[in-house]
Structure 1
Amino acid sequence: MILRSSGYTSSSMTIQRRNVLTTNLMEFVNTLNVESVVPILKENKIINNNDIEVLFKEYGRTEQCNQLIRILKTRGNKAFDVFYESLIETHQYSLAKCMENYIDCKTVDVFKEKKLCNNLSEMEGFEEDDSPSLDEYMVQTPSHYASNLDYYNKNKAHIYKIFSNPKGLVLIINNQHFQTMNERYGTEKDEEYLISLFTKLGYKCLPTSRDLTALEMLEKMKKFSRLPEHFSLDSAVVCVLTHGETDCLYGVDDNQILVQDFVSLLNAKNCPGLLNKPKLFFIQACRGCVLSTNTLPQDEIDSNWGNLFKKRNNCYKENVPKFGGRRLSYHPEIKIPIEADILVAYATPSGYVSWRNSVNGSWFIQSIYKIFHEYSATHDILSMLTMVNKMVAEKFVSTSSKNVQMPDFCSRLKKKLYFFPGVISESDV
């Protein structure tokens, strides 16, 4: 983001500007998305690493807002200007309007024009005419050696069987409208991409679950895990589009669920219909602030259906017993790790933000759509996700502050996974 001159030259913030922040404090507390403005404030040297560490480690959401406003009041007129611009850049227009009487008129006009002309483009990825078209991309036909039954039969000990019709069920959770957090413009485009892609790959997409609370997200996964169709199908896919933090996902009620708890609902114990079958998770969500301290996900390995949900510190968690590495046996001679056969692909590494374009969708989902269409007939999923990493890292740059992004994935797959598009076999090949 390029800082524009405000006309205020004093190094300390004027009394009038401080009063604006004080008068509208409750509005900021109720509405401000602190996480989204922090990278811009940091880039313009309004806050530093110590400020960020305190904000995101020591305080809850309400106190984060209070503390941030207190900090801004002590950082001079430039802080007021940058804060205003950060609100515009992150589409928090109602909050920005509270401040615009004390912003240079030319600056206000520039941002009003930008609001109208850029179609609320939050994070610029591909140029608009370079974004994927749903009609343009067709999954390649199975002409390559990696996409036929002969190749599988010769290597079946090392490759998952993905030949059922459909190849599996797809659950999509798409949270767009939140109680206090920013609306996720562009997420409907991600939903379109995912439905189009997995339908072409031979999957059955269930009706999209939209705008779920944290508790409803867990309940939806619980119901999905119990579907009897899993026993006759070869895999399953879950896609989550929402706001997030390091190891949590947000429901539209601004409550959180742990990613580990959410994913574990499809493990071998909770979903025996998918035993030894690949379970794929694609998560488009921030995992913190760009400069957040590293926090490792909690290591809880299994869930208990009885008394499933317990709310703690605004975070819905499963009541998960500790098994100390115990393995679940489904055969007298073969023991299966209950968390095996799971792959989780994230839009960004732990602690970092992810970027989304309100017109074209997120960088991560755009890249998955392109790469999987082009290479699913010839490459396994880990190879394709590596290509997705490269595309996002090299092609996308945000317009607001020239930031970049690096996706991340965690694989507990035991074999290679090819989608074998167009190849169906009713027999147990």
Structure 2
Amino acid sequence: MSNRDEDECGAGNYRFNLVPNTQTHCIHYSFFSEINSLDPAEEYKMCNKRRVLALIFNQEKFFGRLGLNDRVGTSADRYNLKERLKDLKFEVRCYDNYKQVDVLDEIAKAAEEDHSDADCFLLAFLSHGEDNHVYCYDGKICIQDMMSMFKGDNCRDLVGKPKIFIIQACRGKLFDEGVTVTPADAVDGIVEVFADACAIRTLPAGADFIICSSVYLIYHKHTRPPTKKVSWYIQALCEMLRKYGNSLEFTELLTLVNRKVSMRNQMPCFASMLTKKLYFRPKK
């Protein structure tokens, strides 16, 4: 049997007490039996009639009192992402410079739609952001509130289906100047890894969510390449979707995006609660 301890974040630490059966002199490993029955190659079923809906909220301009700069070039990001998702047979809807109440209304309406014949759901938000929030034209919205609309108790049709959230937004006020990594940075074989607490904290209770973020720490990202009016993150994501969107498992594709963007002194991340492998293979 097992005893379970929980840390402050609710993560479980298991201690297993192996209790011999006095009659058969066998040891019960029911927990390990469950693990052994899992198929590591199992994929999400993507054979429904529709690939399903993708929402892109693109914020270029903001109400003056918010004190936010216009995001020049974000329309190119929106266009490129829309085209790549259309290539993967998503039904794409774009919303430019929507107010807070209108953004929430459109997301709520999408959650209430019939998704019974759909494979998955995707929402992308291109904007400024801070502390678990993204900005609309006249205010900010909590990322968790958006995601919670698609939890199982609110959107039954998407239970067991992938729900993908892409967040392209500044997340802090400091500049990441980069770090030179050498073997000496590892002490006794232990490497300290900093995850994006903001992104991980955003995930609502429930499986089959994945959130993809353009920045992994509280640093203000180097927003755009000097010669191109697009973001490095969306540019890299669109490039990988174009090359490998129909063939590569999605988290592996995101890892390639991380590698490419990291060369630009920016570190994206993704936090996954997916329970199976996710492919966007061509529909027959």
Q: What TM-score, normalized by structure 2, do the two folds share?
A: 0.72
Aligned position for 1:423: 283
Cα-to-partner distance string for 1:205-256 (whole Å, 9 max, x where unaligned):
12x111122232222211110111x111111111111110131111111x22
3-state SS of paired residue (1:388): helix
Residue 71 of structure 2: which of 184, 206, 211 is its match?
Answer: 184
Aligned position for 1:246: 131
Distance in 2, Cα, partners of 1:186 & 1:160: 35
Higher share in helix: 1
Tell me if 1:290 matches 2:174: yes
3-state SS of paired residue (2:174): coil
Return the letter of the residue paired with 1:257: I
Return the letter of the residue paired with 1:272: R
Higher share in strand: 2
Cα-to-partner distance string for 1:5-39 (whole Å, 9 max, x where unaligned):
xxxxxxxxxxxxxxxxxxxxxxxxxxxxxxxxxxx
Tell me if the contact between 2:209 and 2:272 (Cα under 8 Å) persists in the aligned partners.
Answer: yes
Shift of 1:290: 2.5
Shift of 1:284: 0.5
Return the letter of the residue paired with 1:339: G
Distance in 2, Cα, partners of 1:232 & 1:272: 12
Tell me if the contact between 1:246 and 1:297 (Cα under 8 Å) persists in the aligned partners.
Answer: no
Aligned position for 2:268: 407
Shift of 1:163: 2.5
Distance in 2, Cα, partners of 1:380 & 1:164: 18
Q: Check 1:161–1:222 CA distance in 2 against 1; reply closer, same or farther (3 A cut).
A: same
Distance in 1, Cα, partners of 2:225 & 2:274: 31
Tell me if the contact between 2:147 and 2:203 (Cα under 8 Å) persists in the aligned partners.
Answer: no
Question: RMSD in angstroms over aligned alpha carbons?
Answer: 2.4
- Structure 2: give runs of 5+ residues left out of the alignment: 1-38, 177-195
Q: Check 1:289–1:182 CA distance in 2 against 1; reply closer, same or farther (3 A cut).
A: same
Aligned position for 2:100: 214
- Runs (4+) off by over 4 Å: 294-302
Q: Check 1:418–1:351 CA distance in 2 against 1; reply closer, same or farther (3 A cut).
A: same
Cα-to-partner distance string for 1:276-320 (whole Å, 9 max, x where unaligned):
00011111101112269x975796887xxxxxxxxxxxxxxxxxx
Distance in 1, Cα, partners of 2:140 & 2:217: 16
Tell me if 1:372 matches 2:274: no
Tell me if 1:224 matches 2:110: yes
Aligned position for 1:236: 121
Return the letter of the residue paired with 2:224: R
Tell me if 1:351 matches 2:208: no
- Structure 1: give runs of 5+ residues left out of the alignment: 1-154, 303-337, 397-403, 425-429
Q: What TM-score, normalized by structure 1, do the two folds share?
A: 0.49
Tell me if the contact between 1:264 and 1:339 (Cα under 8 Å) persists in the aligned partners.
Answer: no
Tell me if 1:263 matches 2:147: yes
Q: What does 1:116-131 correspond to in 2, within 5 Å?
A: none
Aligned pairs, number: 222
Shift of 1:367: 0.3
3-state SS of paired residue (1:285): strand
Shift of 1:377: 3.0
Between the aligned residues of both structures, percent identity stands at 30
Return the letter of the residue paired with 2:107: M
